[in-house]
Amino acid sequence: MANVFDVLKERGFIAQCTDEESVRDLLGKESVTFYVGFDPTADSLHVGHFLGLMAMSHMQHAGHRPVCLVGGGTGTVGDPSGRTDLRKMLTDEDIEHNCDCFKKQISRFIDFSEEKALMVNNGDWLRKLNYIELLREVGAHFSVNRMLTAEAYKARWEKGLTFLEFNYMVMQAYDFRELNHRYGCKLQMGGDDQWSNIIAGVELIRRKDAKTAYGLTFTLLTKNDGQKMGKTAGGALWLDAEKTSPYDFYQYWRNIDDLDVEKCLALLTFLPMDEVRRLGSLKDAAINEAKKVLAYEVTKLVHGENEAKKAQTSAEAVFGGNGQGADIPAFVLANEEREAKLIDILAKYGVVASKSEGRRLIAQGGIALNDVRIMDEHYCLSDEDFRNDNMVLVKKGKKKHYRLVRA
């Protein structure tokens, strides 16, 4: 079996590493307990977290043990990394709810059976800390001068770095040492914006315990122009189907820039690298086939094969992927519209000029769904209507056709 360090490197995950040769050697000779932290700033993980979950999955498949650390303690402070403003302060109830949501989502990617992985909450120890003891035992090992050179803090200078945020690095370093003591955790992994925080933990373990620990960061998921990937018109690209529908999730990857396809196939799918390179080398119109593979594979991993197939079918129905009905106008319904009144949907999407016209047409038998005439102006859409490839064919009069597609 290939050393997982080589796998991660070939696929483009690794940005920085404390000691590349030593980490590769360590991962090749023993089963290593490592951790990645997830601060509960929302009630769903997003696509940036997904890259970390993929790296963890590669590690677990190679026989290493992941520790998924949810930040019930650090979440009360807020990580300043990548921020130019102060994070919103969360209540304890918000944090607990978000942690529970994270646990459910992470469990879809990481196998927790038979202690193959652990999920822990840093609130279990951070909330019990004595402040003076922490200052004496841990604070003495942190140089303020050095901390102020960290990118995470420099970005906050303009609007003012609070003392609250300044403590975040200390807390994360304390986490690494605590996990080292409790579970023999030797390696911390995280996004490249976490480099300074990870180094702080490595140094704390060395100074307090005279032990060697390691740090490794993933490349951040960015577009070819350097901008963060995963931002949509509606906000972040969430892993929760209620926040970002499987169809919208699929379409995001189907529409990425040609230059980003190979990178995303390498980072966000388990396709062999030979296939990744083949697909990534396609040019012009042919690259669309690679985008379809990417969209399907990523959606399958996040939402399951059934949802991926539905999203693929819907996309092909809307955009004529198989040449079927490419000239028929199509409208993708939002979640809340799936059981709406038909007349409301027809008016909203301009199939009829007004609800009055819709009522008149229905009364005259001029509206049909899937070739079935609708005679009730109060008719509501249902799952049964969408049984044909997640799509309803609407016929207005004798010649005009439209498609309503369920995301």
| Torsion over CA: 57, 7, 193, 245 (sign) | negative
Distances, alpha carbon 99 to alpha carbons 42, 138, 203, in Å? 9, 26, 28
Pairing outcome for strands 33-38 and 65-70? parallel
Secondary structure string (H, E, C) spanning 222-259 = ECCCCCECCEECCEECECCCCCCCHHHHHHHHHCCCHH
Q: Which residues are annotated as a binding site for L-tyrosine?
A: 35, 168, 172
Q: Closest Cα partner for 38 from 116, 123, 113?
A: 123
Query: Residues near 371 by Cβ (< 8 Å), separated by ≥ 6?
Result: 393, 395
What is the radius of gyration, based on Cα positions, of the chain? 25
- Three-state DSSP class for residue 399: coil
Q: Which residues are annotated as a binding site for ATP?
A: 231
Q: Which residues are annotated as a binding site?
A: 35, 168, 172, 231
